[in-house]
Amino acid sequence: MIPLTWDIVSHGLAESGRFLAIAVTGVVILEGLAYIVLHRLLKYKYALPAMLIIPAFVAVMALIIYPFGFNMYLAFSNMSMYRFKEFSVGLSYGLQNFLDVFRHPVLQNVTFFQLLWRTVCWTTVNVFFHVLGGLFLAILLNRPMRGKAVYRTLLVVPWAIPQVIAALAWKGEFHYQYGFANIMLQRLGLAPIRWLSDPRWAFIAVILVNIWLGIPFMMVIILGGLQSISSEYYDAAQIDGASGWQQFRSVTMPLLQPVLTPAVILGIVWTFNNFNVIYLITKGGPMEGTDILVTSLYKAVFEFYRYGFGAAYAAVIFIILLVFAAIYLRVTGGFKGAWE
């Protein structure tokens, strides 16, 4: 191990300090200019709100809008390993890139539609169990009990462990001979499973790991939602003679929806784009059997150097998620409260 000396610490602090100083100076200059231009010179009525928004606006432009625009620019290019710096941009390249996403296998054998179907299965199964598990645990925790804080802390552990460590630890647990999963199966009198060399079982293995990782997030969010529901609603329901199930269906679920909707959307987007778990455990293998859209995108760009194609492919994945989020919001009316 490289020892942690004062030199290293001070160097680290100086680096962070320098970055902060640049950021603060940038904001001060920006706000100063905005004040002079908007308030003093133009006498703009909404100068203050504009000044408050400007730093966030600049950050969003730099971190989201510009990279997105650059991705679209690359999607219309022929950038590849041999044309890394001297690539050309044109409509025909863009058309070819977008068509290539759908007409040829994205990887060696797997096509876009196979990957899309697999990604939808991966996302649906994961999010379903995240919500179900999270809801179940949150309801259990949302009642008076001894040692609640201890349980809550223990249940959050999978979320608190860095994903890389958790995924690599789980990879070991799926080892054919020495892994926990097969040892347990054998103790139950069942045959061991080749978790990591059979594509079907490998896919189940990565799903199991991701379910384990995702439940605590949902549990925390749902628990927050449950605690905000006033007990008066339940009292009223009990007076009306509602059963536990009826209370859950007619009081808990509707009142949880404003919390659950964004959590589910986030869960879907994260799971749909979850790269770490699959890549760390199986690298998309064996036989491309656990690749989903985002891991195949990574391979196309960083292993096959297809930058133009990769940018078009990324845009297609973005559009799928955007359309999904729009439909989901419309159907559930989840953000209604935010508009009204």
Which contacts qualify for 77-83: CB closer than 8 Å, 24 or more apart? 77/307, 77/308, 77/311, 78/308, 79/307, 79/308, 79/311, 80/305, 80/306, 80/307, 80/308, 81/305
Where b means 16+ CB within 10 Å and e means fewer, 270-299 reads bbbbbeebbbbbbebeeebbbbbbbbbbbb
Distance between CA atoms of residues 261 and 337, nearest Å: 12
Distance, in Å, from the CA atom of 140 to the CA atom of 152, rounded to the nearest integer, reads: 10
**Shortest spacing between CB 82 and other proteins, in angstroms:** 6
Is residue 224 part of the contact set for other proteins (CB under 8 A)?
no
Nearer to other proteins, 118 or 306 (CB): 306
Q: Are 141 and 131 in contact (CB under 8 A)?
A: no
302 binds other proteins, rule: CB under 8 A = yes
- In the complex, the smallest distance separating the C-beta of residue 43 from other proteins, rounded to whole angstroms, is 12
Among 102, 128, 176, 180, binds other proteins (CB under 8 A): 176
Of 36 and 61, nearer to other proteins (C-beta) is 36
Single out the segment in contact with other proteins by CB under 8 A; choices: 27-35, 156-164, 250-258, 321-329: 27-35
Q: Is 85 in the site for other proteins (CB under 8 A)?
A: yes
Q: Which residue has the tokens 């293995």?
A: 205
Neighbours of 28 (CB within 10 A): 10
Q: CB under 8 A: which stretch of 236-244, 258-266, 295-303, 330-338 binds other proteins? A: 295-303
**Residues 1, 56, 91, 149: which binds other proteins (CB under 8 A)?**
1
Q: Quick check: 196 binds other proteins (CB under 8 A)?
A: yes
Contact residues toward other proteins (CB under 8 A) are 1-2, 25, 28-29, 32-33, 35-36, 40-41, 78, 80-82, 84-85, 108-109, 172, 175-178, 194, 196-199, 285-288, 299, 302-306, 309
